Each structure stands twice: as C-alpha cells, then as structure tokens.
C-alpha cells in the first residue's frame, strides 16, 4: 500500500513541478490563460504516457497505478488551475481586494474610479476580453461592431441553461 501511495504522491509532485515550470518558461501573457494552461496540462500528460509506455516495455510491470496517478494529477491540477489562477486573473473581485489592501482608507467612490481607470481602461480589460472571445470564435468584429458568432450563440444557450439549473442569475435579462 505504501508503494502505491508513493506512486500517486510522486506523480502529482512531478506533474505539479512540470506544470509550474511550463508557466515560468513558456507562458505568453498575450494568450488566453485557460487555453495556455490546458495546453501545458495535456503536454505533460502525454509526456507521462510516453514515459510510461517506454518504461513499461522495459520493466514488464503493471502500470495501472502509474496511469491512474497521471489522470488523477491532471484532474486535480486542472481543477486547481481553473478555480484559482484562471478565476483570479479574470476577477474584478480580486482586483478590488488587492486595491483595498494597498489603500486601507479608500472610499467607495475612489475604488469605483480606480476600477474604471486602472482595471478597465489602463489594463485594457475590454480589449483583452474581446481578443479572448475572438480567439475562441465566440465573437467577430466588423466595421467596429461586435457580433456573436453561431458558436457564441450556442455557448450562451448552454450558459443560460446552467444558470437556470443552478439558479445563480449570472446572466442579466
């Protein structure tokens, strides 16, 4: 049992190290963070599979636990990545909390001004989000006008269904 636990622990540790290393070596801030992370996760997963395939041929061991540990590591890191880095990168709430921590006596009016002037205008939040949506083909821009693509319309239908199922009222009517 200890050996199997070590397989999972070591696989997760190596997988995590490689995932973080990918961000430090290859991350491009001009790309969509979510897709960049997915690319890194799949790359590492396939490297693990290749390693397991080659190693299995040489050792003749049962590699069920090694494969399971790879799937487990992929799943756990994907969940962590989406819940934390991706959410933090996109979150107005995180911007507000950081701004408040740097300006302990800020008024609501000043906070609103900073949100608009810094988060939206200076950091080009709208441009960044529009570029992301163009990359994933949810919108297209023609003659300075923004249009939903068919793919974008289908996504919104699914999003509205999820919104209704959970009753979270994210989408304003």
Instruction: Note whether 96 and 48 are same-domain residues.
Output: no
Instruction: Note whether 26 and 78 are same-domain residues.
Output: yes
Instruction: Note whether 32 and 65 are same-domain residues.
Output: yes
Instruction: Note whether 119 and 135 are same-domain residues.
Output: no
Instruction: Note whether 21 and 79 are same-domain residues.
Output: yes
Instruction: Note whether 25 and 76 are same-domain residues.
Output: yes
**Three-state DSSP class for residue 31:** coil
User: How far apart, in whole angstroms, are the C-alpha atoms of residue 146 and residue 130?
Assistant: 9
Domain count of the fold of the chain: 3
Residues in contact with 81: Cβ distance below 8 Å, sequence separation at least 6, in sequence order: 19, 37, 41
Residues in contact with 121: Cβ distance below 8 Å, sequence separation at least 6, in sequence order: none
Choose one of 90, 105, 132: the last residue of a domain.
Answer: 90
| pLDDT tens by residue, the chain, 173 residues | 688 899 899 999 999 999 999 999 999 988 889 999 999 999 999 999 998 888 877 666 678 888 999 999 999 999 999 999 999 888 899 999 999 999 989 999 999 999 999 999 998 999 999 999 999 999 999 999 999 999 999 999 998 898 888 888 766 55
CB 69 within 8 A of CB 4: no
Structural domain that includes position 43? 2-90
Which residues are paired to 148 by β-bridges?
139
User: How far apart, in whole angstroms, are the C-alpha atoms of residue 139 and residue 134?
Assistant: 5
Best CA proximity match to 73, nearest among 105, 97, 49, 53: 49
Instruction: Note whether 104 and 163 are same-domain residues.
Output: no
User: How far apart, in whole angstroms, are the C-alpha atoms of residue 64 and residue 115?
Assistant: 50
Instruction: Note whether 16 and 78 are same-domain residues.
Output: yes
Instruction: Note whether 108 and 136 are same-domain residues.
Output: no
How many other CB atoms sit within 10 Å of the CB of residue 122?
10
Q: What is the pTM of this model?
A: 0.81
Instruction: Note whether 85 and 95 are same-domain residues.
Output: no
């Amino acid at each position: 049992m200890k050996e199997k636990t070590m397989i999972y622990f070591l696989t997760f540790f190596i997988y995590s190290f490689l995932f973080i290393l990918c961000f430090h070596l290859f991350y491009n801030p001009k790309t969509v963070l979510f897709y960049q992370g997915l690319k890194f996760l799949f790359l590492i997963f396939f490297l693990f599979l290749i390693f397991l395939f080659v190693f299995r041929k040489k050792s003749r061991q049962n590699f069920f636990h090694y494969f399971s540990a790879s799937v487990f590591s992929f799943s756990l890191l994907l969940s962590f990545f989406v819940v934390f880095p991706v959410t933090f990168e996109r979150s107005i709430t995180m911007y507000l909390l950081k701004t408040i921590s740097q300006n302990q006596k800020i008024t609501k009016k000043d906070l609103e001004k900073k949100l608009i002037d810094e988060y939206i205008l200076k950091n080009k939040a709208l441009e960044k989000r529009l570029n992301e949506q163009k990359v994933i083909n949810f919108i297209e821009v023609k003659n300075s006008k923004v249009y939903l693509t068919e793919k974008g319309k289908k996504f919104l239908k699914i999003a509205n269904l999820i919104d209704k199922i959970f009753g979270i009222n994210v989408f304003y009517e």
